[in-house]
Amino acid sequence: MDFATVSERIATGRIGHAVSRLVPATPIWEREWDVCCVLDGCRLDLMREAAAAGHDALPAPDAVDSLWSVGSQSAEWMDHTFAPQYREEMARTAYVTGNPFSSQSCEHISVTSDDVLPLEADDFAVLHEAWRDEWVDDDISTIPPKPLTDAAIAIWRNREELGVDRVLVHYMQPHAPFRSQPEWFFGSADIEHWGQFASGGDDEDVDLADLEPAEREALEALAEAEAEAEDDETDSMNDPWMRLRDGDFSFDAVWAAYRDNLEWALDDLTRLTENCDGTVAMTSDHGNALGEFGVWSHPPGTPVPALRRVPWVVREGQDRGTSDPALPEGIREGADDADGGDGAEIESRLEALGYR
């Protein structure tokens, strides 16, 4: 067994879980902000690179600060961020999320408790699970930044009547799938098995004679990829970090696609800072490991700095009125429908994003 394998098993196993609990993490509630934007899976060095390139949403690179996240994976981050001791802060906060872990019990993740997930609407001033209505299964299966930004702007402008002091917005980018490389990802996202392969149907019912040549080619590629992944314990078909590890993709190609996904979100954050007065913070729930200590992707309970040390950026927003989105329908009615997601549909979405 090589050193990388040993390091990975230590970092992601019981020893890593124990050390992870000792990391001096900073809950977002301990920082000052009016609107906090969580960019799912954003590494600190990626954010600083985008700042060095002069993106409008960001300050100079030396103003991109950092903090130690409370988790190395989204469900773990939610479990610690929305823990019972923060109920008072949550009761005055609107949580707008594109991450479907908000509806999951996550019993399969050993580092999460039984006290937090799934989230309850009564724990927040507003809980808006935007993924329920705004998920897109197009070239890639995800939720774009726009509906999250729209909801955040509308809620912030109506904060007094909604009893909101803060808005927390959880974007899915730069998390995979990558908009610039749709061919890397198969099927719909499965919201129960976040990030793993989902065929979207029963292959036994498919008559190859009824398919167009391009459809047959895609199905054959899918079957080949599934066969290659059959013995892979990580089930990495839709996880670009594992495929980078395995040599399927080059580092430069993955990094370029990863950065493009970040810029997708940052472009919309420029709109947010132009339509929300107050302090706007940008951070992440976790990073993505690129082989540090033998770790790849973002397994839970892992103390690796590449996963746990995340960006912290502060900007002052000014509402210039350049966007005028309406409150989402569920909020206009006074409450979101917490049971609005069909179980099979939820199952279908969490699978393409690489968590199981």
For residue 11, the model assigns a pLDDT of 60
* Domain contains 206: no
Question: Which domain, by its residues, includes 196?
Answer: 3-201+232-353
Whether the ω angle into residue 100 lies within 30 degrees of 0, i.e. cis, is no
Confidence of residue 238 (pLDDT cuts 50, 70, 90): confident
* Domain contains 309: yes
Q: Per-residue pLDDT for 114 more than 60?
A: yes
Do residues 101 and 91 lie in contact, with contact meaning Cβ atoms separated by under 8 Å? no
* Domain contains 213: no
* Domain contains 116: yes
For residue 201, the model assigns a pLDDT of 40
* Domain contains 103: yes
Q: Per-residue pLDDT for 354 more than 80?
A: no
Do residues 137 and 188 lie in contact, with contact meaning Cβ atoms separated by under 8 Å? yes
* Domain contains 328: yes
* Domain contains 226: no
Number of domains comprising the chain? 1
For residue 200, the model assigns a pLDDT of 39
- HEC readout, the chain: CCHHHHHHHHHHCHHHHHHHCCCCCCCHHHCCCCEEEEECCCCHHHHHHHHHCCCCCCCCHHHCEEEECCCCCHHHHHHHHCCHHHHHHHCCEEEEECCHHHHCCCCCCCCCCCCCCCCCHHHCCEEEECHHHHCEECCCEECCCHHHHHHHHHHHHCHHHHCCCEEEEEECCCCCCCCCCHHHCCCCCCCCCCCCCCCCCCHHHCCHHHCCHHHHHHHHHHHHHHHHHCCCCCCCCCCHHHHHHCCCCCHHHHHHHHHHHHHHHHHHHHHHHCCCCEEEEEECCCCCEECHHHCEECCCCCCCHHHHEEEEEEEEECCCCCCCCCCCHHHHCCCCCCCCCCHHHHHHHHHHHCCC
CATH, residue 137: 3.40.720
For residue 276, the model assigns a pLDDT of 98
Residue pLDDT, tens place only, 313-337 = 999 999 999 999 999 998 865 544 4
